[in-house]
């Protein structure tokens, strides 16, 4: 039997350690490359969410009482299973999400590493002894929040689920997971299967695919949820934040981006266009950290644009699960493809120069280079979420800063330069959650704190032991005395 056997999960949700039908019906899983129906995932209802939350809290209390060694052991086994089942999971990522092989393999390897890091997280110091004016022991400690809701998107469905699920479990919490309906196998079924085999007690991970307007909102508003970890668009993130604030829940929001790659006049032109191509075209541009604006010094812009277009034209676009290797797969669906093409066409009509791409076949959009893009163009102002590299020219560092800051987002920034200190000084002038000198904007590692500012998020972070402790625990103050205190003012009442 295959690890992700569709017979087990077809038209079902994962609740209390069992695959059972959801009250919300079911949803077809369709390959964006071929249009083939890959299976049907069950859809939960708001009532399913409430029932799952109730049982998850019962399981969570026992889980939190277990030793950190027990929790760490489950996470280590999960990491081993990701590695052992990598080939089958990669195949699902290719077919369901349109991931090229290298990207899919990276996701699975990252999932394993997330579990290993979470296993170590279970044993980190979690408090400190405090000074007190009283004769008592005074200390603070981190305790589990209880129940965490994780809402994950389609573009990196495993990584953007596991990076919250693994540390939340390691710290003694239970999790309600809602993956994107388009990638519910990669972003949901795989996690349920891995943790089931790893020996995670029943009820601690509940898989609840469903519609955002009912199931997604109920994940936030159900009384037991204390923390919401959401990754997705800024528009939906604002709604998540509003609901969470109204119901007094903590929300960690990792949202959109329109990230700048600044190419200074002293950058290495032999390699800079390759860096720019990676930043704008990886996973068809469907990544929040993707390079959405390439700001290039006017003295090198002509040569840079030409070389970038040559790289775009040489990239192979096709079905990642096919017989030939490809660098780019399909756009996730027709709606997203139409949005990308509309931005490209409007920008060209407004005066930008199309240097490469701008065409599509089915859901396969050619990597596209637009030159002479100005701040008035849609390709500069909007998050494209597609394989498009808009080039905007600048003359001075002040102008580069002004252009880079001309956005509501602040997720990732790249600066290419022959002088690292010059790059660091420039980065100090541009608000951004992540900065990469001499690299493109799509960078992330398991042990590092990751997040954005402005419309890219709330400033909260995923990743790294300290950030995860703050994200998935409450800070509790505890005192202890050796004997009862005396309160003279109360003794003669």
- What is the rounded radius of gyration, in angstroms, for the C-alpha atoms of the chain? 24
Q: Other CB atoms closer than 10 Å to residue 134's CB: what's the count?
A: 9
Distances (CA, A) of 431 to 186, 259, 453, 473: 34, 11, 7, 28
Q: Other CB atoms closer than 10 Å to residue 199's CB: what's the count?
A: 11
Count H helices and E strands in the chain, helices first: 18, 23
Let me know: does 412 contact 383? Beta carbons within 8 Å: no
The token pair that represents 79 in the structure block: 């990491």
User: What amino acid positions are annotated as catalytic residues?
Assistant: 254, 288
Distances (CA, A) of 326 to 70, 152, 314, 473: 42, 26, 11, 42
CA distance 240 to 212: 10
The single-letter DSSP state of residue 187 is I
- Partners of 230 in beta bridges: 151, 253
CA distance 153 to 236: 11
CA distance 376 to 54: 51
Report angle CA 414, 420, 421 to the nearest 5 degrees. 115
The token pair that represents 202 in the structure block: 């029943």
Of all helices (H) and strands (E), which one includes residue 410?
strand 409-410
Residue 407 backbone dihedrals phi, psi, to 5 degrees: -160, 155
For 448: left if phi > 0, alpha if psi spans -120 to 50, otherwise beta; the answer is beta
**Alpha-helical regions (H) of 316-370:** 334-349
Let me know: does 67 contact 172? Beta carbons within 8 Å: no
CA distance 373 to 279: 17
CA distance 379 to 370: 8
**Alpha-helical regions (H) of 283-383:** 301-314, 334-349, 378-381
Let me know: does 174 contact 57? Beta carbons within 8 Å: yes
């Amino acid at each position: 039997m295959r690890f992700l056997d569709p017979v087990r999960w077809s038209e079902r949700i994962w609740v209390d350690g069992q695959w059972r039908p959801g009250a919300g019906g079911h949803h077809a899983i369709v390959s964006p490359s071929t249009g083939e129906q890959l299976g049907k995932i069950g859809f939960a209802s708001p009532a399913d969410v409430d029932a799952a939350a109730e049982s998850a809290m019962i399981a969570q209390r026992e889980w939190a009482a277990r030793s950190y060694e027990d929790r760490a052991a489950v996470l280590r086994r999960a990491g081993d299973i990701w590695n052992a089942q990598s080939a089958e999971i990669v195949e699902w990522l290719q077919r369901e999400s349109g991931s090229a092989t290298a990207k899919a393999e990276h996701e699975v390897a990252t999932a394993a590493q997330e579990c290993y890091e979470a296993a170590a997280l279970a044993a980190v110091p979690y408090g400190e002894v405090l000074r007190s004016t009283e004769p008592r022991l005074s200390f603070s400690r981190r305790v589990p929040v209880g129940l965490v809701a994780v809402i994950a998107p389609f573009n990196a469905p495993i990584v953007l689920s596991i990076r919250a699920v693994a540390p939340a479990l390691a710290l003694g919490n239970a999790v309600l997971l809602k993956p994107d309906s388009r990638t519910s196998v990669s972003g949901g079924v795989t996690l349920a299967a891995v943790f089931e085999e790893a020996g995670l007690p029943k009820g601690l991970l509940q898989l609840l695919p469903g519609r955002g307007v009912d199931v997604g909102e109920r994940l936030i508003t159900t009384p037991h949820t204390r923390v919401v970890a959401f990754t997705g668009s800024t528009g939906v993130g604002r709604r998540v934040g509003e609901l969470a604030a109204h119901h007094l829940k903590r929300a960690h929001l990792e949202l959109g981006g329109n990230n700048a790659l600044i190419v200074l006049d002293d950058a290495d032109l032999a390699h800079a266009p390759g860096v720019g191509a990676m930043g704008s075209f990886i996973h068809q541009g469907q990544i929040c950290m993707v390079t959405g604006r390439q700001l290039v010094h006017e003295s090198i812009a002509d040569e840079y644009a030409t070389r970038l277009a040559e790289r775009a034209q040489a990239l192979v676009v096709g079905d990642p699960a096919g017989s030939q290797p490809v660098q780019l797969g399909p756009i996730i669906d027709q709606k997203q493809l139409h949005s990308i093409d509309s931005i490209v066409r409007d920008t060209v009509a407004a005066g930008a120069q199309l240097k490469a791409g701008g065409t599509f076949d089915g859901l396969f959009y050619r990597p596209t280079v637009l030159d002479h893009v100005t701040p008035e163009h849609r390709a500069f102002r909007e998050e494209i979420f597609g394989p498009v590299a808009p080039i905007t020219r600048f003359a001075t560092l002040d102008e580069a800063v002004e252009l880079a800051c001309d956005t509501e987002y602040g997720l990732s920034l790249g600066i290419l330069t022959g002088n690292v200190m010059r790059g660091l000084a420039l980065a100090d002038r541009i608000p951004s959650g992540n900065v990469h000198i001499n690299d493109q904007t799509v960078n992330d590692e398991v042990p590092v704190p990751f997040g954005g500012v402005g419309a890219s998020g709330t400033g909260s972070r995923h990743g790294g032991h300290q950030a995860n402790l703050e994200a998935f625990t409450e800070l509790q103050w505890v005192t202890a005395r050796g004997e009862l205190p005396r309160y003279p003012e109360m003794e003669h009442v």
